[in-house]
Amino acid sequence: MINLFQMLQQNSPFFQELQIYDDGKRILDKSLRDKEGMEYYLISKKFIKQWKYYVDYDEEMEEIQLDPRQKPDKINSDLINNEKLFRYFPENHVYNSSIRYLENEWDYEFVLKKVYEYFNEIYQSIEPQIRVGFYNESLKRKQIFPNLARFTLIYQSPIDNKLYTAKAQVDYNSEIKAWTNLLRDTFQEQFKPKKINNVRVWCPRHKTFKADLLIQQMEKIKQVDGDILNENLIIFQMQSQRDNCIIIDLELNDWQFKKFEQTIEYDNALLLEKALYGCGKIVCEFPQCKLNNGYSDLGFAKEDIQGICQVLIENEEVKWELMCSKQKNITDNLLPFSVQIKTDPIQYLLKISQSLELFGISFVENYNKNQGIYQINPKNAEINSLLVLQIAQGLNQQKDNLMQIIKNLFQRKVEDIEPLTNLYQLRALYLILQFRNCLSKILDEKPFIILTVIRRLSQQQANQLSKWLTKLDKTELQQFQSITKKAIEQQINIQKNAPIRPLLDIDDIQRLKGLFDLYSVIYKSNIKNPRIPASEFIINSIQQFYKVDADRQEFTQFQIFNAKVWRGYSFTFCQYPWAMPIEFKSRLLSIECKVKQYDTRRRAYGIFPQFVSLTIERDNIIESAIKQLQQTQVSLKNPLKVQFVNEQGVDEGGPKREFFRLIMEKLVTPDYGMFIPKNNDTVFWFNPQSFEMPIYYSLIGKLLGLSLYNSVLLDVRFPTVLFKKLQREKLKEEDLKELDMETYTGFQFLREQTDPKVVESLGLTFNGTYKVWGENYFEDLKPNGFQINVTIENREEYIQLYIDWYLNKLVQKQFDLLKDGFKTVVDGDGIKLFSGEELQQLIIGLPTFDMKDLEASTKYDGYESDSEYIRYFWNCIHKLNVEMQKRFLFFCTGSDRIPVGGLKSIKFVIQKHGQDTEQLPSAHTCFNVLLLPFYKNKETLKEKLKISLDNAEGFGLM
């Protein structure tokens, strides 16, 4: 059946475009699955997004909007790059391309030739028209392999016989033979006066040597130290890393290169040269380099060193991939920047910024102590903060010089898509980020070099930055966090006010991702060494990023990201859930639940919503709930409705809340034996000696999940650690405080002792103990633990084993049953957005509240918000103590729990209910409506309100 939207669509002047695109998309998807031969064009994703919006076809829009639209940008605007690459396919082949290296898979979208040509008739296209594919000789058909390998080619020009390098790309799945044929045609076009008969590929014996070292080697020996690759190999069988070097050999009258046979002798000479003379750099990673080997300090003669090199080569102990090469640099005679530099500091920094490593060992703390020793400490960046601050103040007034330093350091890395390779380079990045006086300028510089470097950091490198940041004091970290947060908020504000839609440009996406990746480094550092409240990292403007249906649009991006189908992907904040407001995340979880419910109905060919319907006996509440939850054929993710036996009424929320209150009260009570009170009865924890049936713990898990999906807050005193365990968070010693303060403080006392005799006098063994209903139980923390005494040397092991035993192993069986029950209701990606503490807030509610929030959000029916009567009413409520205020909430809503978002998120109504009456105030708890009579005087209002609250107990239908 065609709906209204489809009818409007068919009447649109763009209907033919939509039809061609849709048909092409279906054929394309099928051809990719079946690997059929077709011509595939790349179209910028920015164009596709703009085009969909222009023709009212965006999947996120529910209705046609007739406002004037901006015509889409050029088709290939995101795919133009001036980087000189060997062409992927020469012009005389079926496919032609000047394709750049695509950093992200979602930069572009594949379309069929027909779709591209139709677009090209209507919209402007930038040359070259980019096509990718692979012509497989054996299969005689064209196939698409968008997964590209990248190499640095070393070749000898037949014009001047000099060695040159170039970047080249090729499908992982293509054969060497097919690729060399393409290279032959490419070289032939480049060197037209010369006849290129054929091309072959040499793989260097030392596969990870850099291009400069290989060229140096080849110029010296005039041959190739390697082997010719079998032309029947597939590219991925080369097992190469990105940008590894290979040597291209051109056949003119004869081949240019021959194999170098004297490899062992040459290796000896090569290694001896490095051991005796080094590379001349300030820092070097090659262990056998003169800078690192220490042979001279030990007084070894040349003959001794030669013998050592020979043994190292014979035992294959040389790390050739770290081999250094001697280079003449502008920084060769310069020292790292320190307090001893007396020249113009800015000009000196400009000089040493020509070397990442030299810059990376600058600003060293205690320079005199460390002079000549340039080993970087992974645990402490050892930065002279005062010197950094002084230079940052100077650079803040010299933006051009600051930008030039950044370009000198990192621009080549960015352009060549090269990663940072060592701690010296990473420390250089860390130093730039420490210039906090000009950090805003650094993060805002164009073309965003620093953000690009940060975005390309490996996980290990990002973790290393976090480790170094743990050494910053609270003020320093707050300044760093505040500047980065402000930069993110500015970007969000710019994007949400975009004239068409946010994040249409790939550059905008990458800029925002770079900022968030930096923000993530700061956040993880704060986790390791807490100095800033976690709430300070939350960015509330995320909720307003999309102008319409923000939660639904964010959820769509989240789904695409998790599915790794990049066709419609831009960016999702859900990669950084700790920065998202909990209210926004809870809405995403609600959408996910509704989507799952819809999918369930669709698979069952249902049309109308399905409910988990429970008919509950008040006197047999647990057994009736267990039986029905086990037998229901309806997914527990569906909405819950509760009917009490022999009680009239339709569940609009009240009976449901009453059900949860009664059943949890019974299950968690100590009399039932499943949980025991801990920490002076402030919380309830699993009873390790419980004999209840496993199904009861599973039931509690299901109830936690059902309450979450039905927005019912539970009045249960479960500790935060239980919810952390549900979210698979790593537990810490601090988590013990909420359960057992006595044990926690005992561990602190044990750590503080410096006298071994005091520790021994405590008489502790590797044995855990717990008490249930006055009876003591014991368990070994490790085999024969009761026979192993705790000493000052092994006390840390004892503490860690005890914590793991107490929080995990001791209650493993009970917790696993509860967790399994919870997971039968709650699964998917949405729940992963929440920390354990946030999950606790979703299920149990917030620990504190302010009645002024409820007053501010209240609506009125029959009263005016500013009337004297209403003002007096709220004055009475505000004067109540916390316990009575909770009674008021329970009386009006059926629950005294505070939802995520606080009382301002409750839709509360005060309705006028009679005048000059003796009737008490009452409430429709299902709808959060207080029925308030208009009494003749204030004293009567106060008295009647007190009577109602004093007797607020249980649930009654009106």
Q: Outline where DSSP puts E strands in 5-147.
A: 40-44, 108-112, 131-132, 134-136, 141-143
Is the pLDDT reported for residue 796 higher than 90? yes
Lowest-pLDDT choice from 88-92, 372-376, 743-747, 911-915: 88-92
* Residue 313, pLDDT above cutoff 80: yes
pLDDT at 19 over 60: yes
Task: Please check the confidence at residue 56 and state whether its pLDDT lies above 90.
Answer: no
pLDDT in tens, 816-827: 999 999 999 998
Q: Are 24 and 55 in contact (CB under 8 A)?
A: no
| CB-based contacts of 469-476 (< 8 A; 24+ apart in sequence) | 469/521, 469/522, 469/525, 470/525, 470/528, 470/529, 471/380, 471/381, 472/525, 472/531, 473/531, 474/531, 474/532, 476/385, 476/436
**Which residues are bridge partners to 226 per DSSP?**
204
State the DSSP code for 364: B
CA atoms of 522 and 463, how far apart (whole Å): 10
- What does 892-946 look like in DSSP terms, one character per residue? HHS---B-TT-GGGS--EEEEEEES--PPPEEETTTTEEEEEE-SSHHHHHHHHH
User: In terms of pLDDT, which residue wins out, 746 or 954?
Assistant: 746
At 552 the three-state DSSP class reads helix
Report the distance separating Cα 365 and Cα 345, nearest Å.
17
Q: Which helix (H) or strand (E) element contains residue 156?
A: strand 148-156
Please, which pLDDT band fits residue 52 given cuts at 50, 70 and 90? confident
Q: Which residue would you say has higher pLDDT here, 956 or 557?
A: 557
Are residues 200 and 232 in contact, defined by beta-carbon separation less than 8 angstroms? no
Q: Rg of the Cα trace of the chain?
A: 35
Task: Please indicate whether residue 309 is annotated as part of the active site.
Answer: no
CA separation for the pair 276, 85 (Å, rounded): 38
Q: What is the pLDDT of residue 605?
A: 58
Question: Percent of the chain, pLDDT > 90?
Answer: 41
* β-strand pairing of 922-924 with 909-915: unpaired
**Tokens matching residue 614:** 């429970």
> What whole-number distance in Å separates Cα of residue 216 and Cα of residue 222?
10
Q: What is the mean pLDDT of residues 238-260?
A: 85
Structure tokens at 549: 């249906």
Q: Which residues contact 1 (CB under 8 A, 6 or more apart)?
A: none
Give the Cα separation of 735 and 620 in Å (integer): 36
374 vs 540, which has greater pLDDT?
A: 540
- The bridge status of strand 909-915 relative to strand 929-934 is parallel
- H/E segment holding residue 292: helix 290-293
Torsion, Cα 181 182 185 187, to 10 degrees, reads -100
pLDDT at 724: 96
Residue 596 C-beta-side C-alpha neighbours within 13 Å? 20
Threshold 0.75, pTM exceeds: yes
Q: Each residue of 687-712: b (16+ CB within 10 Å) or e?
A: bbebeeeeebbbbbbbbbbbbbbbeb
Averaged over 341-350, what is the pLDDT? 89
- Within a 13 Å sphere around the CA of 505, how many CA atoms are in the beta-carbon half? 9
pLDDT-wise least confident of 78-82, 152-156, 913-917? 78-82
Contact predicate 176/230, CB 8 Å: yes
Asked if 111 and 94 count as a contact pair (C-beta separation under 8 A), the reply is no
The predicted pLDDT at position 650 comes to 57
pLDDT at 871 over 70: yes
Q: Which of 826, 895, 897, 850 is nearest to 586 (CA)?
A: 826
| Bridge partners, residue 247, by sequence | 154, 202
Name residue 728's beta-bridge partners: none
* Mean pLDDT along residues 202-224: 87
Residue 589 tokens, joined: 């979880």
> Residue 203 belongs to what H/E stretch?
strand 198-204
- Is the model more confident about 357 or about 85? 357
Task: Report pLDDT digits (tens) over 465-512.
Answer: 999 999 999 999 999 999 999 999 999 999 988 877 898 888 888 899
Q: Which residue in 921, 922, 925 sits closest to 896, CA to CA? A: 925
Is pLDDT larger for residue 298 or for residue 831? 831
- Look at residue 85 in the predicted model and tell me its pLDDT: 41
Per-residue exposure over 63-101, b if at least 16 CB sit within 10 Å of its own CB, e if not: eeeeeeeeebbebbbbbeeeeebbbbbbeebebbbbbbe
Question: Which tokens go with 232?
Answer: 């029947």
pLDDT recorded at residue 25: 83
Q: How far is CA 897 from CA 425, 663, 907, in A?
A: 52, 16, 14
pLDDT at 795: 94
Q: Domains in the chain, start-ordered, CATH in brackets? A: 38-59+95-143 (no CATH), 148-260 (3.30.1710), 268-318 (no CATH), 338-400+422-434 (no CATH), 611-750+807-844 (3.90.1750.10), 851-951 (3.30.2410.10)
Specify the pLDDT at position 653: 65
Q: How far apart are CA 132 and CA 39, in angstroms?
A: 8
**CB of 324 within 8 A of CB of 210?**
no
Which residues are 66's β-sheet partners? none
Q: Of residues 309, 324, 438, 926, which has the active-site annotation?
A: 926
Non-local (6+) Cβ contacts of 136 within 8 A are 142, 143, 178
Q: Which residues of 815-836 are buried (b: 16+ CB within 10 A; e: fewer)?
A: bebbbebbebbbeebbbebbbb
Best CA proximity match to 520, nearest among 442, 458, 578, 445: 578
617 or 107: which leads in pLDDT: 617
In Å, how far are 150, 214, 285 from 320, measured between CA atoms? 21, 12, 11
Residue 928 has φ and ψ, to the nearest 5°, of: 60, 45
Q: Is the pLDDT of residue 697 over 60?
A: yes
272: amino acid identity, one letter: L
Burial class (CB in 10 A: 0-12, 13-18, 19+), 637: buried
> Lowest mean pLDDT: which of 77-81, 237-241, 415-419, 824-828?
77-81
Q: Which two tokens stand for residue 27?
A: 């054929």
pLDDT per position as a tens digit, 123-176 = 887 654 444 444 444 444 444 444 567 788 999 999 999 999 887 767 666 778
Q: Please give the mean pLDDT across all residues of the chain.
A: 84
In sequence order, the 6+-apart residues with CB closer than 8 A to the CB of 563 are none
The three-point CA angle 48-51-57 to 5° equals: 100
Confidence of residue 87 (pLDDT cuts 50, 70, 90): very low
Let me know if 434 is exposed, middle or buried by CB neighbors in 10 A (0-12, 13-18, 19+): buried
Q: Predicted confidence band at 300 (pLDDT cuts at 50, 70, 90)?
A: very high
Token pair recorded at residue 210:
């850099």
Which stretch of 282-291, 485-494, 568-577, 752-761 has the lowest confidence by average pLDDT? 282-291
Q: Which residue has the tokens 């698409």?
A: 144
- What Å distances lie between residue 727 and 721, 731, 839, 889, CA to CA? 10, 11, 8, 30
Q: What pLDDT, in 10s, does the model give residues 833-861?
A: 999 999 999 999 887 888 888 988 899 99
Residue 262 confidence (pLDDT) above 90: no
pLDDT of res. 750: 94
SS3 613: strand
169: left (phi over 0), alpha (psi -120 to 50) or beta: beta
Q: Which residue has the higher pLDDT, 64 or 484?
A: 484
- The pLDDT value recorded for residue 177 is 84
Q: Which residue has the tokens 């500047």?
A: 483
**Per the structure block, which two tokens stand in for 865?**
């918000």
Q: Read off the pLDDT of residues 520-536 as tens digits, 9 standing for 90 and up.
A: 999 999 999 999 999 99
Q: What is the pLDDT of residues 880-904, one digit of tens each?
A: 988 888 889 888 887 777 888 788 8
Q: What pLDDT shows up at residue 954?
A: 42
CA-to-CA dists, residue 712 to 336, 638, 639, 645, 715, angstroms? 62, 14, 11, 21, 10
